[in-house]
Structure 1
Amino acid sequence: MQLNLTARHKRQLSSIFLMTARLLCAPDEGLAPVQHEAMDDASSPPPGLYYLGYLFNYRSSDLYMPGNNARLPGDVQLKSTSVINRLMWITDHKLLGADYGMEVIVPMARNSLQSPTYGVDLSESGGADIYVSPLILGWHTPRWDASVGTGVWLDNARVGDAFLGPGAGYKRYVVSGGATYYLDEARSWSASALLHYQHNDRASYGWRFGDQVSMDWGFGRRWGPLQAGVVGYSRWQVQRDEGLGTADSYAQNHAVGLQASYIFLQAKMMLRAAYYKEFGAKAGSLPATQGDLLRLTVIKAF
């Protein structure tokens, strides 16, 4: 599909694409990858040192514009591939009756934006913003687990000349809390929900994106080392964006999918795969994407 565009319209669309690229690299405007795990991940693990490695592949060809949420016509492809290294330490110490732990997350990402319709072909890759959490608390009982945590996404990574770099350009402060309920004494069936509240600093380019609430949920069944079930996530912007040119609209998006995992007991490892389909996306001050997410995870206990 080819559109007849004036030079002015092409400049306007280029600006839209550059701002849209922010969705691929900033967890708070688009997808918060390390949060979207679901199933019974509101449960913290027992004391020990854990490595979690993630491979994310996100693709979207649906772009919704700020203000009217109309879908942008033409061929537009947004892609983001992330490799995320996460190190979690749950100590033997107790705080408020809970296991006390901490974690650090170091992501790398490659983001791309192509559109033959509008003559756009952009890509950039590199190390993304690092997440540091000094506080993870986990409580455990025979029929339910609960956890809370807090941390900050640093603004250490570059934003990039075309806003396509892996850095957000501002710090994000996160408070999380959730619970897993086991429907039977054998803990075969589980239902889980994990909530995150995120406060955003002002960005290096002048805007401050409104705070957001996100929720990950899951319902699953376990057969020995195998677990499978239905998972999903939602994100809602709860404060207005601030800055010249921001819109009086609130972003949101939702997804539902399937997840399966298998535990290798002797190796102290777990392999996990999940697929999500997004729906109900609405744009705030930036365009909103609606796409598919594939996530592969390896977890190793030491």
Structure 2
Amino acid sequence: MIKNKIFFGILCALSTSAFAVENGNSNYANGAENFMSGVVPPPGIHGMIYTNHYNADRLNDYKGNNLNVPNFEVKSTAIVSRLVWVTDKQFFGGNLVFETLIPLVDLKVQSLDMSQKQQGLGDITIGSALGFHHSPNLHSAIGFDIFLPTGEYNKNDLANLGLNRTTIEPMYTISYLKENALSADVKLGYLFNGKNKDTNYSNGDQFHLDYSIGKNYKNMTFGIGGYYSTQINNDKINNEEIKNSKTSGFAIGPSFKYQGKKWFTTIKWEKDLIAENKSEGNSLWIKTALPF
């Protein structure tokens, strides 16, 4: 699950990133969320598994033009385990929720005459939220995630499993679903990125949203989904701003959900249509939610 340049991985987070250059790296895995993103399950302990495969053979500049880097390719597969504890404690009408996401990553990056493969633990995410059930059809959650620099990192490597920085993300997600009718989901997040102390490099803040729109048919939903992301300010190195270092992206593709009695699975394929200061490729996402 790697995508903008180096991997991290989580759910409410996970990262789809991969490249040695730091500008544009995102701790959040853009496109990770799909149908049911705003529906917090009932009190108890719940598990989710996210599986992502990402592939790209193009790296773009700040205008979205192909840099034509010889032999450039990124391939990554990630499995992210998400553990969610929904308590029966309520604040402002919402249930208090705690979560952690643990990514395992298989990443290969090649460029010019260089190639490197890494496997192992990515950056772990912890978070808390309040989950609201406004009606049988409308649900939402508000909270924050903290991305921890637990993944292996070496500033001289081409491929890294972690970003070597701490990031804090306030987030809000909302879902509307109705049997035999419309389904719509949006997750919003804002990333306050810390500094990579090994390189003295700081990424600018980033805004992102995941979206899905579909039609429900009994226990199945068919529709589309993807993500939009944009960087708010330029990166800095040694406290000096780097001109034209902002990253933007937009992706779209078909989405499907199957709803069981106490579980559901979503499948999504998405294609990058806008990719500025980042790799351009496509992703396959599979998410399964199960109660313990």
TM-score range (shorter-chain normalised) is 0.7 to 0.9
Q: Matched residues in 1 for 2:4 and 2:223: separation?
A: 32
Question: Which residue does 1:6 correspond to in 2?
Answer: none
Question: Which residue does 2:218 correspond to in 1?
Answer: 224
Q: 1:141 aligns with which of 135, 141, 149?
A: 135
- Deviation of 1:272 after TM superposition, in Å, equals 2.2
Check the 8 A contact 2:188/2:208 in 1, yes or no: yes
Q: Matched residues in 2 for 1:197 and 1:291: separation?
A: 23
- Say whether residues 1:102 and 2:102 are aligned partners: no
- Say whether residues 1:179 and 2:174 are aligned partners: yes
Name segments (4+ residues, structure 1) moved above 6 Å.
Answer: none
- Write the deviation string for residues 154-198 of structure 1: whole angstroms up to 9, x where unpaired: 11222134052211100010110122234x5x4731222110011
Q: Which protein is bigger by CA-based radius of gyration?
A: 1
- Say whether residues 1:156 and 2:150 are aligned partners: yes
SS in 2 for 1:24: coil
- Write the deviation string for residues 178-232 of structure 1: whole angstroms up to 9, x where unpaired: 22234x5x47312221100110111122111001000011111222221221111
Check the 8 A contact 2:88/2:96 in 1, yes or no: yes
Question: What TM-score comes out, normalization by structure 2 length?
Answer: 0.85
- Deviation of 1:24 after TM superposition, in Å, equals 3.0
Change (3 A) 1:67 1:234: closer
Identify the structure with the greater helix proportion.
1
Q: Matched residues in 1 for 2:84 and 2:180: separation?
A: 24
- Say whether residues 1:189 and 2:179 are aligned partners: no
Change (3 A) 1:104 1:296: same
Taking only aligned residues, the RMSD between alpha carbons, in angstroms, comes to 2.4
- Write the deviation string for residues 6-39 of structure 1: whole angstroms up to 9, x where unpaired: xxxxxxxxxxxxxx99813143714733762122
Percent identical pairs in the alignment equals 20
Question: Which residue does 1:91 correspond to in 2?
Answer: 87
Question: Which residue does 1:239 correspond to in 2?
Answer: 233
Change (3 A) 1:136 1:130: farther
SS in 2 for 1:38: coil
- Write the deviation string for residues 123-147 of structure 1: whole angstroms up to 9, x where unpaired: 1111011100133433331342221
Change (3 A) 1:295 1:31: farther
Change (3 A) 1:86 1:296: same
Question: Which residue does 1:16 correspond to in 2?
Answer: none
Q: 2:250 aligns with which of 248, 254, 265?
A: 254
Instruction: For structure 1, list consecutive stretches of 5 or more residues without a partner in the other structure.
Output: 1-19
* Aligned-partner residue type, residue 7 of structure 2: C
Check the 8 A contact 1:21/1:163 in 2, yes or no: no
Change (3 A) 1:164 1:246: farther
Question: Which residue does 1:200 correspond to in 2?
Answer: 193
Check the 8 A contact 2:57/2:281 in 1, yes or no: yes
Question: What TM-score comes out, normalization by structure 1 length?
Answer: 0.83
Check the 8 A contact 1:58/1:292 in 2, yes or no: yes
SS in 1 for 2:258: strand
How many residues are aligned here?
273
Q: Matched residues in 1 for 2:64 and 2:185: separation?
A: 35
SS in 2 for 1:240: coil
Check the 8 A contact 1:66/1:247 in 2, yes or no: no
Q: Matched residues in 2 for 1:71 and 1:41: separation?
A: 35
